[in-house]
A and B are shown apart, each in its own frame.
Chain A
Amino acid sequence: MGVLFLDIVTTAAILFTVASGLMIILGVMKLINFAHGAFLAIGGYAAFVTTQLGWNPWMAIPFAAVVGFVLGLVIERVIVRPLYARPLDAILATWGLGIVIGQVITIVFGREVQFVQSPLSGAIEFLGQSYSTYRLALVAIGAILALALIALLYFTRFGLNARAVIMNEDLARGLGIDSTRVRLTTFGLGAALASMAGALITPLISVDPNLGLPWLINSFMLVLVSGVSIPGLIVASLILGGAQVLVSSYVSAILGGLTIVVLAAVILRIRPQGLFSG
């Protein structure tokens, strides 16, 4: 029972961490970033490079975040910004971008599966169970991340400006807010979060150019169910992640992989606006 509980909490923390970047970009920019999976892969390879260079494995997290942020800024400026007036084309462009990033990674690093050194190995005793130290650390990291995002959105001027842009962009501009800059920063932040999440999950999974794809689909479902809010995403991660763990443990691992998508479809059928909206 204890193991099951820890599995659910750690899975939820991982899902929250992975989906947060997608949610920030959707919330502020009304843009579904289909390159999210590719940014996860970039983070995974940033961790791989960290391992190859012989750096401390913890360095993978800031390194991935910086790489993701810089790439996000460049991509927003060059690809996303010219398409603001054409939202559907912007979504398609991020889809194409994801494919291009995947191909570039394949050219640079090859198609083969790589492994990354974990910052923490082994297991510790927790709640009377012997449990993976790294998965437990991810819960702490996920919690810090959630608090940091709430603080950024609700207790800083950037967060206030971003919320103003979300609610009424013209009114925000008329008050001196540079909405173009808010979008640029947001995309950079979303890409940094995705890339950091990629670095965080790679000690649990192997690294290959398409590592982000299954996570992209699950993240997308989680964000829709959350109603695009941080508390909503925490709850959605716990419910859908919990269901995934239960189905995987008691039914089959293959069905477990489909749980999030199927359950999300059912929830959205009942509550189309998501859990925490309206």
Chain B
Amino acid sequence: MNDPGATLAISGLTSGYGEAIVIRGISLTVGAGEIVALLGKNGMGKSTLLRTVMGFLPAREGNVVIDGIDVTRDAPHRIARRSIAYTPQEQAIFQDLTVGDNLRLGQVESRWFAEELARICDVFPFLGERLEQRAGTLSGGEQKMLLIARALMARPRLMLVDEISEGLQPSIIERLARVLVAERERTGVAVLLVEQNVRFALEVADRWSVLKLGEIDDEGGSDMPNAASRIADHLSV
């Protein structure tokens, strides 16, 4: 399971809040240029897994290896500086900062800011017109696009995306799917996509895993003919 060449290799990871264990012994890899979807219902531990990978929650057991380096005990900012772009599900943008400042914060030192900004504005033209606007005044869908745009500003090697499609209309989900796939083609970024939207997940991802009660319950490739119905079964129980 533990492929040394993987961009992200999680093995036997256990963590939780206080006394409560939320994820138990999870092992999962994301190879370079691979998109892996992690599906599961609310409360199954999907966000907890990402927060543990990012170092916000301490791992009780197991470890997290990024590009062959064990980062299990590292602080979140150190992990982020390994070109890891984490987009949380909630409170993910700075509502009171401008769109431009939010994008600037996507890069640790604004080193390639102008270059990446020009590219991001090609991908999401509306952002370029609203750089001075307060991010909190964008619509829900625009905020999610800003979130992905900010992640791309980092020139990430790995993106950890937490339920980006939640509450969005299908046309925007489709747009985000195209952006993610195009970005993977262009830069070879690896993506761990936490999702409840099976259609979106299977459209984008190469492989999928189902998280149930803190453990990986099932997994497979997106090209399996019955993948959608199999995942839907897991999510409905």
Contact = CB atoms under 8 A, between A and B. Distances in A.
Interface of A: 157, 160-161, 163-164, 167-168, 170-179
Interface in B131-179: 150, 154
Q: How large is the interface on B (under 10, 10 to 19, 20 to 34, 35 or more residues)?
A: 20 to 34
Given A160-B104, A171-B88, A177 B94 contact: no
Interface string B44-86: 0000000000101000000000000000000111001100001
Q: Is the interface of B mostly helix, strand, loop or mixed?
A: loop
B223 to A, nearest CB: 33
A163 B96 CA distance: 10
B182 interface: no
B97 A174 contact: no
Interface of A is mostly: helix
Contact of B54 (A157, A160, A172, A174): A174
B77 A160 contact: no
Interface stretch (B6-14, B105-113, B214-222): B105-113
Contact of A175 (B80, B91, B95, B96): B80
Contact of B77 (A163, A168, A173): A173
B92 interface: yes
B106 A175 contact: yes
Contacts of B101: 160, 163
24 contacts: A160-B97, A161-B105, A163-B94, A163-B101, A164-B105, A167-B94, A167-B97, A170-B56, A170-B76, A171-B91, A171-B94, A173-B75, A173-B76, A173-B77, A173-B80, A174-B54, A174-B56, A174-B86, A174-B88, A175-B106, A175-B108, A175-B150, A177-B105, A179-B77
Nearest to A175: B105
Given A157-B104, A173-B56, 14 more contacts: A157-B110, A160-B104, A167-B96, A167-B97, A170-B76, A171-B91, A171-B93, A174-B76, A174-B80, A174-B88, A175-B86, A175-B150, A177-B105, A179-B77
